[in-house]
Structure 1
Amino acid sequence: MMLLENRTAIVHGGSGSVGSAVARAFAIQGADVHLTGRTRASLEEVAASIRGAGGVAHVDVLDVLDRDAVERHAAAVASSGGIDICFNATFNDDVQGTPLLDMPVDDVMQPVAKAITSSLTVATAAARHMVQRGTGVILVMGGGREAIPNLGGSHVAWAALAGLCRQLAAELGPRGVRVAWLLSPGSPEPGEPDPEADRLLLPRRPSYEQVGNVAVFAASDWAATMTATEINLTAGAVID
């Protein structure tokens, strides 16, 4: 039996490297996948690869900062059988490469505002329908807790994202909805040496396929008692 058989999943940012990998993993495990993003051509390419492998995929052009559009999309998906999984893999528009001493406040705050706005918008839109059924899983792609210079507001955004997920989990848990976030140090290009390997405990950061497999586990009944939790895929870059 497939881990996500007869489940419906929404993957926001479904044409990106992480989003497409997660969408493919969900579909391989039996989920009916709804891909969203801002560019139809790239979404259709991912959907075609899923269908070519025997999976089910739908495409919708959507801006996750448009709350009304996100709510309408969630309602349309829910009307055809409910929403079981919501995964947010959208970009946070990070501004990096400059020390905080030299960075304008607006550049620091840009990824914080984007991360919180997008995750809150898609999570609450899906949760409105999940709580009616008393079940559902909300997953968010986060970043590391390493102390790395010149990342601007990225670490601030990831820390804020963890706080948001904890609060959502506290409020939604009694109504049957789980919330978790995946902690990743990024993924190396396939077949290329990993330039970050020297700061890991394991030889290599996770591949996109491995990130997708962990997302499947987190969304499945195998993780039924996991909520308000961070899933550490950093290969030892972050030590818990």
Structure 2
Amino acid sequence: MDNSPSHVITDRGLLAGKVAFVSGAGRGIGAAAARLFAREGARVLLAARTERQLKEVTEEIRAAGGIAGYAVCDLADPASVRAAVDRAVELYGRLDVAFNNGATGVPPGPLDQTTEADFDQVYAVNLKGVWLAMAAQVAAVRATAGSGAIVNTSSVGSLRGNPALPSYGAMKRAVNSLTESAAVTYGPEGIRVNAIAPGTTLTEMMREWDERSPGVIDRLNARTPLGRAAAPEEVAQAAAWLLSDRASYVTGTVLPVDGGMQAA
């Protein structure tokens, strides 16, 4: 574990005093976000399907002086999603912010080669799971903190045609619509809702895609003005800012965090 000064918990930070819910927190962007949010002063509830990964990240946060707990959560199971959000309130007495980052991938390929089972799974996790989580989070924020913020993880692949991952891109584009609709609905209550649209990010999911399609990361980097993939923490930093009070007048946006890929 990195014990350099940048990884030591401090008393003040972007999310000081807030309770944060993070899904997909066992690895990748979600794990990076959980660590970052704790370093920025939040009490964090980590949620994901794999308990071993959750325990590891939770223990890292606690070892650095942060406050973290976890709940095993299957985003395709409505009762599991609601229970995980409720667990944050049980542990910390409130919910202020939530980062809906959990997602599942599908094998790359054209639309006609996507199986119905894969389509149904990516719908259940990447779209319905986000909808379920947002509904539970709005209720929890209303009942406790009163106001707050939600960030959903979309994808730069939702902002244009996505022939390699058509069902994944479709669900992420629908997440953008949910984000915008929720921002309009809950803005009058002081609940902000935004999304981030990461580009190529060095997560386990991205590395698995590169293994199945060797060279895909290099090809994506060649289309990216910054010429490289993001580290998971670089994406998490954008989510942290959107959840913080420093983004207090930002809602209803889908923020590309893509090294300029969408602009190219």
Output the TM-score relative to the length of structure 1.
0.90
1:164 is aligned to 2:188: no
Q: Give the C-alpha shift of residue 146 in structure 1.
A: 4.3
Q: Residues of 2 paired with 1:184 and 1:97: CA distance? A: 18
Output the TM-score relative to the length of structure 2.
0.82
Q: Residues of 1 paired with 2:234 and 2:109: CA distance? A: 31
2:15 to 4, 21, 33: 4
Q: Residues of 2 paired with 1:157 and 1:163: CA distance? A: 10
Q: Give the C-alpha shift of residue 206 in structure 1.
A: 2.2
> Which amino acid letter does the alignment assign opposite residue 236 of structure 1?
G
> Where does residue 143 of structure 1 map in the other structure?
155
1:205 is aligned to 2:248: no
Q: Is the contact made by 2:81 and 2:129 (CA closer than 8 Å) also made in structure 1?
A: no
Q: Give the C-alpha shift of residue 16 in structure 1.
A: 2.1
Q: Residues of 2 paired with 1:219 and 1:40: CA distance? A: 26
Unmatched runs of 5 consecutive residues or more in structure 2: 1-11, 208-214
Q: Give the C-alpha shift of residue 207 in structure 1.
A: 1.3
Q: Residues of 2 paired with 1:117 and 1:75: CA distance? A: 18
Unmatched runs of 5 consecutive residues or more in structure 1: none
> Where does residue 127 of structure 1 map in the other structure?
138
Identity %: 28
Q: Residues of 1 paired with 2:188 and 2:202: CA distance? A: 38
> Where does residue 226 of structure 1 map in the other structure?
250
Alignment of structure 1 residues 45-64 onto 2, 5 Å: 45-64=56-75
1:82 is aligned to 2:106: no
Q: Is the contact made by 2:76 and 2:124 (CA closer than 8 Å) also made in structure 1?
A: no
**3-state SS in 1 of match to 2:80:** helix
1:178 is aligned to 2:189: no
Q: Give the C-alpha shift of residue 105 in structure 1.
A: 4.9
Q: Give the C-alpha shift of residue 104 in structure 1.
A: 4.2
Q: Residues of 2 paired with 1:68 and 1:99: CA distance? A: 33
Cα 1:239–1:68 shift into 2, 3 Å: same
> Which amino acid letter does the alignment assign opposite residue 46 of structure 1?
V
RMSD value, Cα: 2.3
1:91 is aligned to 2:103: yes
Q: Residues of 2 paired with 1:122 and 1:51: CA distance? A: 25
Q: Is the contact made by 1:131 and 1:176 (CA closer than 8 Å) also made in structure 2?
A: no
- Count of matched residue pairs: 238
Q: Give the C-alpha shift of residue 175 in structure 1.
A: 1.0
**3-state SS in 2 of match to 1:211:** helix
Residue deviations 1:132-166, cap 9 Å, x none? 34311111111112444321311111111101111
Runs of 4+ deviating beyond 6 Å: none
**3-state SS in 1 of match to 2:258:** coil
Q: Give the C-alpha shift of residue 109 in structure 1.
A: 4.9
2:30 to 10, 16, 19: 19
Q: Give the C-alpha shift of residue 169 in structure 1.
A: 1.2
Residue deviations 1:193-226, cap 9 Å, x none? 9612210111223211111211111110110111
Q: Residues of 1 paired with 2:236 and 2:249: CA distance? A: 20
Q: Residues of 2 paired with 1:120 and 1:137: CA distance? A: 15
**3-state SS in 2 of match to 1:75:** helix
Q: Residues of 1 paired with 2:230 and 2:57: CA distance? A: 21
